[in-house]
Structure 1
Amino acid sequence: MEPNNTVFSHHISSQFNEDIQDVNTKFMAMGGLVEQQVANAIHALLDTDLDLAIKVQFEDNAVNRFEQEIDEALTLILARRHPAASDLRMVIAMSKANTDLERIGDEAAKIARIAQNLCEEGESPRGYMETRHIGNQVRIMIREALDAFARLDAEAAVQVMRADGDIDREYSSAMRALMTYMIEDPRHISRVINVMWVLRSLERIGDHARNISEQVIYMVKGMDVRHTDVDKVEEQVQAKTTAIEQKKTPE
């Protein structure tokens, strides 16, 4: 995933460009690690893999180190380069997306802790089919959000935002089904509640992937689309893109 270098073409100094590219490389490495952590946490749960569950929790320390290093690097860029306009937006967007990546890592560690507990109890409880499905969807969301960030692709970021709505609906449906199951068969309440916590973590991971996509749109288009309906966001992004293209077209 190579960044779109055209966005880096009018910086205050070439050093800013080098600094931000270094941070971007580290950010993408952190993103790859976080995506793998989510995948491993889900596998640990579904495959009752105790060793993998413990590994995910241990490796959360590496995600935390990445977050600290990226924060420190961005703080130095602000202090030394004094970026303005689109350069400043890029630093702000990276800082916020960095926080969201770290929180995805936290949710993966939570899933791994629950997986560890359920591994020790044996027998797969109800809700694993929903966990597998929603888990696969959020993994795709993370990958596509990072890809949109790397390519500075606002249109792709909108599609990630739209996918978050699908996950929210499937999460609500799965939770209703599990509530009904517990009422009908109270013997497995505690274990099913653990699966519900896993689904909650997956839903939150989707929210964080959406947040990263919102930062892509802010970085590229200068639009703050938080708390905005995705249809309206898509309309605004397309309008802004059309306006920019019209300015570039010679009369």
Structure 2
Amino acid sequence: MKHHFTFHNELEKLNKKILRLSTMVEERVRSAAMVIDTRDQDMVHKIIVTDYEIDEMEIEIEEDCLKILALHQPVATDLRFLVAVIKINNEMERIADMAVSIAMRVDNISKFNHQQAVSYNFAPMIEKVLKMLKNSIDALVNHDATLAKSIFIDDDFVDHERNKCYEETKKRIMSDCNHPGFHINTYLLARHLERIADRAVNIAEEVIYFVEGNITRFH
């Protein structure tokens, strides 16, 4: 009885940790999305210098998972949960890295000081990416495979927006050939956002695996 209680107590603690990590990552992505428009240097700096917090928690969660696997040898749903957490934990850390990449890219763009450049409208893409990330986290919290599957549809929109930004960037470089670095860095913002959406899809796939026991690969 004591072993059983300890095991499920450790699973509950692990669940709380992965949800706390998810909240931290979502906050950083929202901040990164905000600085694309505001170019707030204080926020840019904060996103970059606090990345270690995500890295440390990711390592802690992975160590907890391995400890539980070694000591309790779980099966069935509990085993699927641990496998899903290990993978989602890694995806969250990668998403946080993308938020840092966005912040660094914004910092680079600001240094070009190209005041004549027309700003690219990332708003539709940002809205969809944030929705996908939020839904992937909500699906994890609520063990909702149906919500997880809905994320796959939104990924096509994000890919389309990334491609549209790429075509627009080519036109801007041809018409403004003195500032190619500015425009390439702007396109790379779209690329980072698209990668966050891809990671949200990966999280959704792991939620489906945990809830239904089915391995799903959207792409």
Q: Same fold (TM over 0.5)?
A: yes
Match of 1:168, SS state, is helix
Query: Structure 2: where are the runs of 5+ without partners?
Result: none
Partner residue, 1:174: 165
Partner residue, 1:146: 137
Q: What are the equivalent positions in structure 2 for 1:35-184 lying under 5 Å apart?
A: 35-122=26-113, 123=115, 125-126=117-118, 128-129=120-121, 131-184=122-175
Offset at residue 118 of structure 1 (A): 2.0
Contact 2:84-2:209 within 8 A present in 1 as well = yes
Amino acid at match of 1:128: Y
Tell me the TM-score normalised to structure 2 length.
0.93
Match of 1:86, SS state, is helix
Q: Distance in 2 between matches of 1:147 and 1:44?
A: 25
Offset at residue 184 of structure 1 (A): 2.6
Q: Distance in 2 between matches of 1:153 and 1:114?
A: 35
Amino acid at match of 1:95: I
How big is the alpha-carbon RMSD for the aligned residues of Structure 1 and Structure 2?
1.6
* Of 161-170 and 180-189, the range deviating more from structure 2: 180-189
* Of 140-149 and 163-172, the range deviating more from structure 2: 163-172
Amino acid at match of 2:107: Q
Offset at residue 127 of structure 1 (A): 5.1
**Offset from partner CA, 1:203-246 (integer Å, 9 cap, x none):** 000000000000000001111112x46xxxxxxxxxxxxxxxxx
Offset at residue 65 of structure 1 (A): 0.9
Match of 1:83, SS state, is coil
Partner residue, 1:193: 184
Q: Distance in 2 between matches of 1:124 and 1:41?
A: 23
Offset at residue 124 of structure 1 (A): 7.7
Offset at residue 125 of structure 1 (A): 4.1
Contact 1:127-1:178 within 8 A present in 2 as well = no
Q: Distance in 1 between matches of 2:162 and 2:116?
A: 19
Offset at residue 42 of structure 1 (A): 2.1
**Offset from partner CA, 1:111-165 (integer Å, 9 cap, x none):** 1011112223343844531x23212221111111000001000000001122112
Match of 2:179, SS state, is helix
Tell me the TM-score normalised to structure 1 length.
0.81
Match of 2:88, SS state, is helix
Q: Distance in 2 between matches of 1:102 and 1:125?
A: 33
Amino acid at match of 1:212: I
Partner residue, 2:207: 216
Q: Distance in 1 between matches of 2:88 and 2:170?
A: 34
Amino acid at match of 2:59: Q
